[in-house]
Structure 1
Amino acid sequence: MRSLSYICASTGETIPLEGPDIWAQTAEGLRGREWSYTLGYRSLTGVSRTAREAELDLTYVRCPEKVDWTRRLFDADVAAGTPGVFDADGWTTRAYVVKAEPASITPNIIRQKLSIVLLDGIWRKPGDVQHFWSDTLQPGLDLDYPHDYPHDYMPTTRNAVVSNPMPTAMPFKMVIYGPASNPQLTFGGNRYAFDMEIPSGSFVTVTSIAGRRTIVMTAENGDTTNVFDKGRRGTGLNGGEYIFQPIPPGDNAVQWQGFGIDLTVYMEESEPVWSN
């Protein structure tokens, strides 16, 4: 990995771990991966990626004050129960640093072995934002008749593609821009639908990451409202109308009407990618 840092949840400060003062060497303790499972007769059940413990060697070069600084930040997150984040080349995972043991101490170098709890069992990285424009930003979507009719025509349902580059279904962040009345969109065999009005200038953000699922509306003045109950859940996962349904792999034709959408697919890996 080319870059590695720890972001303290309690203060927002970032601890760089690739030098020049603090080094994590090759950080091999963060490289491993492990699945939890139960053995059956020629089978595995209960397969999941859960929290695991790891070790990380840190070397401080001529900066004893930074040993104190990092300790305070690590301890602040543990004491507050707010996990910090390790960031490896843009791949992130939540973690606690729960123990530090001195490995060697000299006038110029202090080495410590850290014990870490990696909470998620996975590393995540957001993909590129995929934009699906509103009708107002796409002139000419509908037929331009040479004379008026006593009724309005429904807006055209457009076909576009939602892309997930990973080989398995992935979580997402979706932003729906108002104005929109009971907006819905369909792709990958699932309907993502809301029972609500989104005023002009407002938008609704859906985050589908397991354990951190949210649906929040942001008003034009910046005020936020929890609208978690407005997303339809149908019969749940794989039921055909589940607001948090993961994005299937590959390209998926999407249909929607009128409103604008931004979609970000989160890529998940068992360990930081080697080929960055």
Structure 2
Amino acid sequence: MVSHSLSYRSGCVNRRFELNGPALFGGTVESLRSGEWSYKNKGRYLQKRYKNSQTRTITLSAIDKQVLQDFLDTCDADVENNTPATLVADDCETLCFIVKDEAKHVSPLLAQTELTVLLIDGVWREPIRQSYTMDIVDQTGLDYDYDYSLVQMNGDITNPQLVTLDCDLTIYGPVTNPQISIANNVYQVSIDVPDTYRLSIDSREKTVILIDSLGTSRNVLDNASFVDGKNIFAPVPPGSHPVLWSNEFDFDVTLWVKKGRLPWTI
């Protein structure tokens, strides 16, 4: 019995394939639970340590051969377009390419192939998500180091790891020139975000995108702040930190926990 989900989300088209579903089945994918560091040691110390791209194998069984063919064609398209796909297991995800498939079994009822998966950066990411919504405050405001209008401490967020974590933000309009303070850094974009629009800040892709209600997007990276203490892509350090904002808009914060392998708890 496989209790976890496993899916492939294409990088070049808006399409997702379930790899532990009724048509395709990848099983427990033991190889994805292995991790490896690249390193250069000097005496008792690691002079360099980093994660390189790594290859893993998945044995994929298919009851529906047309779905299998569509999946492999999409994998080829991602490679040809150099647009990494996202492999998702429950809440964990990693960027990948399917660089090889080798047929293992063919019969009228079942096809089976072995996939070679290139994990591009050798790490998995698991999100810590938290939402913040507007609340009623009085008109006095509070005195903080940053120049906010009617700033209120609306909550906090915790990085439970021993290292800094990448931070993504989604800000919902209407709001003008939104600012959010986390851990002594202000995430600031000088732009008008109309009603039904959202502002998406992606720390891994280094993008700041304004998206309307129809999904049409516009690059607004030049409107973001990158100065010391106001870095739109600043990671969040370990520990618990207050979250401050003007209380004039709703937003989501996502911290990304990096893991060297697919967790055994999945």
TM band (smaller chain): 0.7 to 0.9
What SS does structure 2 have at the residue aligned with 1:72? helix
1:273 pairs with 2:263? yes
Please show how residues 153-168 of structure 1 align to structure 2 within 5 Å: 155-159=149-153, 160-168=155-163
Distance 2:120 2:233 in 1: 21
Task: Tell me which amino acid in the other structure corresponds to 2:32.
Answer: L
* Whole-angstrom CA distance in 2 between matches of 1:204 and 1:65: 38
Cα pair distance change 1:251/1:70, threshold 3 Å: same
Q: CA deviation at 1:51?
A: 1.6
Aligned AA (1:247) = V
Deviation track 1:45-82 (CA, whole Å, cap 9, x = no partner) reads: 34322321111112234x44444333222212212222
1:225 alignment counterpart: 218
Q: Which residue of 2 aligns with 1:172?
A: 167
Aligned to 1:147: none
Could you tell me how far apart the structure 2 residues matched to 1:229 and 1:121 are?
31
* 8 Å Cα contact 2:55-2:117 kept in structure 1: yes
CA distance in 1, matches of 2:133, 2:52: 35
Residue aligning to 1:99: 100
Task: Find the aligned partners of 1:66 and 1:88 in 2 and give their Cα distance.
Answer: 20
In 2: Cα distance, 1:218 partner to 1:99 partner: 36
| Superposition deviation, residue 223 in structure 1 | 5.4
Kept after mapping to 1: 8 A contact 2:158/2:241: yes
Q: Which amino acid aligns with 1:253?
A: P
CA deviations over 1:149-173 (Å, ceiling 9, x no partner): xxxxx84321231233444322222
Give 1:228 deviation, angstroms.
1.0
SS in 1 for 2:46: strand
Is the 2:23–2:62 contact (alpha carbons within 8 Å) kept by the matching residues of 1? Answer: yes
Name the SS for the 1:130 alignment partner: strand
Instruction: Go from structure 1 to structure 2 and tell me whether the alpha carbon gap of 1:98 and 1:142 turns closer, same or farther (over 3 Å shift).
Output: same
Q: SS of the counterpart of 1:18?
A: coil
TM-score by length of 2: 0.80
Give the corresponding residue for 2:192: 198
Measure the CA separation in 1 of the matches of 2:15 and 2:186: 40
Deviation at residue 269 of structure 1 after TM alignment: 1.9
Distance 1:13 1:253 in 2: 38
SS of corresponding position for 1:73: helix
Task: Check the 8 A contact 1:142/1:155 in 2, yes or no.
Answer: no
- 1:255 equivalent in alignment to 2:244: yes
* 8 A Cα contact 1:127 1:264, kept in partner: yes
Percent identity (aligned): 25
> 1:180·1:258 contact (CA, 8 Å) conserved in 2?
no
Q: CA deviation at 1:19?
A: 4.3
Alpha carbons 2:79, 2:99 under 8 Å: kept: yes
In 2, distance between residues paired with 1:243 and 1:155?
20
List runs of 5+ in structure 2 lacking aligned partners: 142-147
Root-mean-square deviation over aligned CA pairs:
2.9
Unaligned runs of 5+ in 1: 145-153
- Give the distance between the partners of 1:242 and 1:228, measured in 2 at CA: 12
What letter corresponds to residue 217 of structure 1 in structure 2?
L
The number of aligned residues is 254
Distance in 2 of aligned mates of 1:67 and 1:241:
47
